[in-house]
Structure 1
Amino acid sequence: MRICDLKQKEVINVKDCRRLGFVGDVDFDIQTGKITAIIVPGPGCIWGFLGREKEYVIPFCDICQIGDDIILVELKEKKEKE
């Protein structure tokens, strides 16, 4: 799977069935090449043009399943970066 494939998937929190948005970016470990987290822009953010309110930084270990259209995550608490 490529990073551009991840960006086309919607992220949904399985705890409250809330739609978080689409993957905007990924963090990865340079030494191992493994993805460490996915980043989902918060509401009202479109590629950073309309302001950068909040974004969800979701560790890879919190991803439950990656499907054809969606990514299911289990957020125990809000993990936002301001």
Structure 2
Amino acid sequence: MATTVSDDGEGVARWRRAQRGLTRLLSRDVRRRRRLILPQRLQESVPDWIEAVRAVVDDYADASVELAADFYDA
């Protein structure tokens, strides 16, 4: 028989707040990388920007995975 699992607990609320915080920090750090794009040298600067953004996204993905693992271990 199916059971209902509630996601209204305090642990879930903490996890959601932490994820929102990570999202805000990710957005901030990606915005900071815009300075790498030089309008007068788009073809040369955009690949550097893409590489920098990928590195930031990878870092935050790792942090998100750790956060989720901690939540499920708790």
TM-score w.r.t. length of structure 1: 0.20
Higher RCO by CA contacts (8 Å cutoff, separation 6 or greater): 2
TM-score w.r.t. length of structure 2: 0.21
More helix by share: 2
Highest CA radius of gyration, 1 or 2?
Answer: 2
